[in-house]
């Protein structure tokens, strides 16, 4: 059986493999490879390679960096189909969704390719007589990305291209559940002409993570994953002097008001809840519905949920594939059962879903649960599966209260035909990303992605302008070039606040 290893200093790295874990084909329920977990020593080798590479890469011209980014972009486009098959095989999502994931990552590569413009500083001539002041940004050093299983291509592409374009070097620690996409990206970076050591991959679990968080030569850490781990990453890395952006979990609500187009809302909520089997941090997992239209919307959601084609991700007709592991399936089905135990109504029950020819696959069918209350476990937990809860409310004010009471603040949406309601909603909800008649409001690459409350630890959102600021540090230079020795000799011994002198 294949053993999946690391990528260090520009080439595949054959690990000691003191510890391994299985990598599944979720559609068949079969182990297809073993993943070698990095030891602290192997992590040190990767960080060391990145640290050595930083000395030269940080001095490479912006034009050269941009050229390599453009080359990487072209290779990513040319190999999208191959990369999508790798993602689908290990994650389970359908091929079209895997291609969409790569496409959203590609947007960040394109944004990062404009790094000469993005790193322009400011200049103030003659701030005082004979004195000019200007600012510029420099890279930090070795940056680390710790990424989740649900987007094995996109999230690394949200981090590494911008970090590298800014002049940093990068060590990626991908999820141990679907690790192969990271090595494919490493090869594309090498083929694009990125110098050895600028991009590295170490596989593994908490041992590898802790080694990265505490390593003296790591300057910055980016993380996307669950809230408990985000909190741990932020606390540990900050304690060890790192700059940290840690994006946590979500419980994304979509409000449907009585004046909404219900057919449009149901269509969008179905896709947003069940796409990628609900394994998205921006999935809509709660529909907060005005009482007057709740019955009609639930009927539409139930009809559409039953029509979702649940099949292996490689099936071109599939709408939705399996979940990632047997443990994930077991947890999702337990939470569905808990909703029924708590008194909610299972309108469509996806437990026990079987796909012909793939009876051992990790499939959970689309699930619609009505009359869910905020105290129910199925509401409190981030289910991360193909489940949508329906919470009924009297109107917009109560809907906003439901959202703002929830500890998460990643994404939300509203379906309405009222501009007044939409404006009130977007200003009053305590959530970082908002969709108006848009179910999954993931910002384009030239804005930044990130939530509020327990969905973000640290102040920096990911990619976009905030990403550039995160991966760089600012300098301000105040300069004078005296014309004569006489002018230089007139230096003052006191601190002057008068810029007119």
Q: Which residues are catalytic?
A: 281
Q: Which residue has the tokens 């129910």?
A: 376
Residues 408 and 455 sit within 8 Å (Cβ to Cβ): yes
Q: How far is CA 201 from the centre of its chain?
A: 17
Cα dihedral 284, 289, 295, 297 sign: negative
Residue 32 CB contacts under 8 Å (≥ 6 apart), including other chains: 1, 2, 23, 24, 25, 89, 90
Classify residue 492 by burial, with Cβ atoms within 10 Å: 0-12, 13-18, 19+. Answer: exposed
- Helix ranges restricted to H, 58-134: 62-78, 80-91, 95-113, 115-118
Burial of residue 403, with CB atoms counted within 10 A of its CB: 0-12 exposed, 13-18 middle, 19 or more buried: buried
Burial grade of 262 (CB within 10 A; 0-12, 13-18, 19 or more): middle
Residue 475 and residue 479: Cα distance in Å, rounded? 13
**Exposure string for 168-183, b = 16+ CB within 10 A, e = fewer:** bbbbbbbbbbbbbbbb
| DSSP assigned state of 405 | H
């Amino acid at each position: 059986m294949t053993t999946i290893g690391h990528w260090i200093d520009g080439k595949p790295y054959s690990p000691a493999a003191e510890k391994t874990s299985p990598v599944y084909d979720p559609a068949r329920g079969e182990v297809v490879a073993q993943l070698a977990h990095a030891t602290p020593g192997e992590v040190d080798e990767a960080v060391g390679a990145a640290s050595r590479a930083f000395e030269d890469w940080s001095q490479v011209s912006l034009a050269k960096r941009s050229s390599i980014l453009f080359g990487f972009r072209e290779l990513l486009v040319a190999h999208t189909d191959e990369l999508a098959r790798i993602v689908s095989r290990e994650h389970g999502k359908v091929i079209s969704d895997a291609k969409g994931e790569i496409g959203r990552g590609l947007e960040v590569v394109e944004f990062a390719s404009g790094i000469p413009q993005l790193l322009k500083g400011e200049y103030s001539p003659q701030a005082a007589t004979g004195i000019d002041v200007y600012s510029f940004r420099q890279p930090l050093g070795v940056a680390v990305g710790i990424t989740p299983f649900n987007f094995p291509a996109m999230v690394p592409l949200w981090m590494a291209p911008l970090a590298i374009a800014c002049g940093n070097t990068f060590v990626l620690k991908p999820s141990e559940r679907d690790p192969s996409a990271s090595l494919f990206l490493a090869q594309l970076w090498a083929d694009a002409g990125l110098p050895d050591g600028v991009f590295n991959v170490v596989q593994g679990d908490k041992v590898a993570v802790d080694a990265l968080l505490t390593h003296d030569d790591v300057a910055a850490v980016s993380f996307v994953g669950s809230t408990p781990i985000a909190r741990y990453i932020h606390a540990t890395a900050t304690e060890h002097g790192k700059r940290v952006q840690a994006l946590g979990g979500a419980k994304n609500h979509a409000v449907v008001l009585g004046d909404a187009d219900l057919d449009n809302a149901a269509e969008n909520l179905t896709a947003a809840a069940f796409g990628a089997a609900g394994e998205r941090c921006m999935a809509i997992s709660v529909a907060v519905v005005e009482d007057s239209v709740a019955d009609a919307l639930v009927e539409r959601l139930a009809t559409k949920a039953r029509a979702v084609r649940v099949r292996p991700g490689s099936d071109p007709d599939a709408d939705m594939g399996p979940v990632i592991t047997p443990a994930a399936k077991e947890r999702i089905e337990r939470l569905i059962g808990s909703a029924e135990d708590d008194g909610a109504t299972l309108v469509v029950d996806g437990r026990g879903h079987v796909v012909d020819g793939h009876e051992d696959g990790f499939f959970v069918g689309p699930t619609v649960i009505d009359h869910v209350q905020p105290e129910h476990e199925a509401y409190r937990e981030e289910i991360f599966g193909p489940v949508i809860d329906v919470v009924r409310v009297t109107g917009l004010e109560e809907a906003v209260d439901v959202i703002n009471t929830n500890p998460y603040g990643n994404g939300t949406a509203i379906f309405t035909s009222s501009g007044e309601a939409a404006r009130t909603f977007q200003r009053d909800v305590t959530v970082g990303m908002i969709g108006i008649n848009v179910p999954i409001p993931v910002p384009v690459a030239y804005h930044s992605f990130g939530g509020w409350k327990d969905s973000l630890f640290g102040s920096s959102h990911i990619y976009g302008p905030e990403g550039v600021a995160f991966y760089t540090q600012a300098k301000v230079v105040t300069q004078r070039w005296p014309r004569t020795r006489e002018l230089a000799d007139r230096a003052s011994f006191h601190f002057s606040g008068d810029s007119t002198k």
